[in-house]
Structure 1
Amino acid sequence: MNNFSRENEGKGPNFYRDIFPYSEVPKIKFNGSENVVDLPEDIWITDTTFRDGQQSMTPFTVEQIVKIYDYLNKLDNNSGVIRQTEFFLYNPHDREAVFRCMERGYKFPEITTWIRANKNDFKLVRQMNIKETGILMSCSDYHIFKKLGLNRDEALKKYSEIVEEALSNGIVPRCHLEDITRADFFGFVVPLVRNFMDLSKKYNIQVKIRACDTLGLGVSIPGVEMPRSIPGIIGGLKKTCNVPSEALEWHGHNDFYCVVPNAVSAWMYGCSSVNTTLLGIGERTGNCPLEGMVFQYCQLKGKKDLRLDVVTEIAEYFKTEMKYEIPVRTPFVGDDFNVTRAGIHADGILKDEEIYNIFDTDKILNRPVVVAVNEYSGLAGIAAWINTYFKLSDKDKISKRDKRILEIKKWVDDQYENGRTTPIANKELEIEVKRYFEELIDIEKTRAS
Structure 2
Amino acid sequence: MYKIVDTTLREGEQTPGVQFSLEQKKQIVSYLAQIGVHEVELGIASPLFSCLPELITYTHALYPDLPCSLWSRCREEDIRCAATLGIRRVSLSIPVSDRHIVTKLGKNREWAEQHMLAGISLCMSLGLEVAVGFEDSSRAGTGFLQHMARQAERAGAWRIRLADTVGILSPGKAGDMVSLVAGSLQRAEVGVHTHNDFGMATGNAIAAYEHGALWADGAMLGLGERTGCARLEELVAYLSLVCEQPGFEVGVLKSFARYVAEAANEPVQARHPVLGDAIFACETGLHLQGLFKDPQTYEPFSPELVGAERRLMIGAKSGRSAIRFQMDRLGVDVGNDDAMDRCVAAVRDAARAKGGALSDAELIALCRVH
TM, length-normalised to structure 2 = 0.84
Amino acid at match of 1:398: L
Cα separation, partners in 2 of 1:92 and 1:282, compared to 1, 3 Å: closer
Amino acid at match of 2:178: I
* Residue 88 (str. 1) matches residue 43 (str. 2): yes
Q: Do the aligned partners of 2:316 and 2:349 also contact (CA within 8 Å) in 1?
A: yes
How far off its partner does 1:313 sit?
Answer: 2.0
Matches within 5 A, 1:24-63: 42-57=1-16, 58-63=18-23
How far apart, CA to CA, are the structure 2 residues paired with 1:416 and 1:92? 54
* Residue 65 (str. 1) matches residue 18 (str. 2): no
How far off its partner does 1:161 sit?
Answer: 1.0
How far apart, CA to CA, are the structure 2 residues paired with 1:250 and 1:375? 45
Counting aligned pairs with the same residue, the percent is: 23
Unaligned runs of at least 5 residues, structure 2:
none
Q: Do the aligned partners of 2:220 and 2:233 also contact (CA within 8 Å) in 1?
A: yes
Q: Do the aligned partners of 1:49 and 1:278 also contact (CA within 8 Å) in 2?
A: yes
| Secondary structure of residue in 1 paired with 2:51 | helix
Matches within 5 A, 1:272-351: 272-298=214-240, 301-320=243-262, 322-351=264-293
Q: What residue number does 2:186 align with? A: 242
Amino acid at match of 2:55: A
Q: What residue number does 1:393 align with? A: none
How far apart, CA to CA, are the structure 2 residues paired with 1:354 and 1:52? 36
Cα separation, partners in 2 of 1:144 and 1:379, compared to 1, 3 Å: same
How far apart, CA to CA, are the structure 2 residues paired with 1:167 and 1:400? 74
How far apart, CA to CA, are the structure 1 residues paired with 2:80 and 2:332? 69
* Residue 398 (str. 1) matches residue 340 (str. 2): no
Cα separation, partners in 2 of 1:383 and 1:335, compared to 1, 3 Å: farther
Q: What residue number does 1:24 align with? A: none
Q: What residue number does 2:35 align with? A: 75
How far apart, CA to CA, are the structure 1 residues paired with 2:168 and 2:29? 30
* Residue 174 (str. 1) matches residue 115 (str. 2): no
How far apart, CA to CA, are the structure 1 residues paired with 2:176 and 2:290? 44
Q: What residue number does 1:33 align with? A: none
How far off its partner does 1:424 sit?
Answer: 5.2
Amino acid at match of 1:49: T
Amino acid at match of 1:60: F
Q: Do the aligned partners of 2:241 and 2:301 also contact (CA within 8 Å) in 1?
A: no
Cα separation, partners in 2 of 1:373 and 1:197, compared to 1, 3 Å: same
Amino acid at match of 1:176: G
Choose the corresponding residue for 1:198, options 148, 154, 159. Answer: 154
Q: Do the aligned partners of 2:97 and 2:139 also contact (CA within 8 Å) in 1?
A: yes
Matches within 5 A, 1:18-29: none
How far off its partner does 1:300 sit?
Answer: 6.5
How far apart, CA to CA, are the structure 2 residues paired with 1:307 and 1:207? 27
How far off its partner does 1:196 sit?
Answer: 1.9
- The structure richer in helix per residue is 2
How far off its partner does 1:94 sit?
Answer: 3.9
Cα separation, partners in 2 of 1:325 and 1:122, compared to 1, 3 Å: same
Please give the per-residue CA displacement for 1:128-154, whole angstroms capped at 9, x wherever unaligned.
Answer: 211111122111001001111111112
Choose the corresponding residue for 1:209, options 145, 160, 165. Answer: 160
Choose the corresponding residue for 1:369, options 307, 310, 321. Answer: 310
How far off its partner does 1:166 sit?
Answer: 0.8
The size of the alignment, in residue pairs, is 358
Q: Do the aligned partners of 1:86 and 1:113 also contact (CA within 8 Å) in 2?
A: yes
Cα separation, partners in 2 of 1:413 and 1:197, compared to 1, 3 Å: same
| Secondary structure of residue in 1 paired with 2:38 | strand
Please give the per-residue CA displacement for 1:43-85, whole angstroms capped at 9, x wherever unaligned.
Answer: 2111111111121152112222222221111121xxxxx2101
Q: What residue number does 1:3 align with? A: none
TM, length-normalised to structure 1 = 0.70
How far off its partner does 1:344 sit?
Answer: 3.2
Cα separation, partners in 2 of 1:398 and 1:165, compared to 1, 3 Å: same
How far apart, CA to CA, are the structure 1 residues paired with 2:263 and 2:324? 35
* Residue 266 (str. 1) matches residue 208 (str. 2): yes
RMSD of aligned C-alpha atoms? 3.2
Q: What residue number does 1:189 align with? A: 145
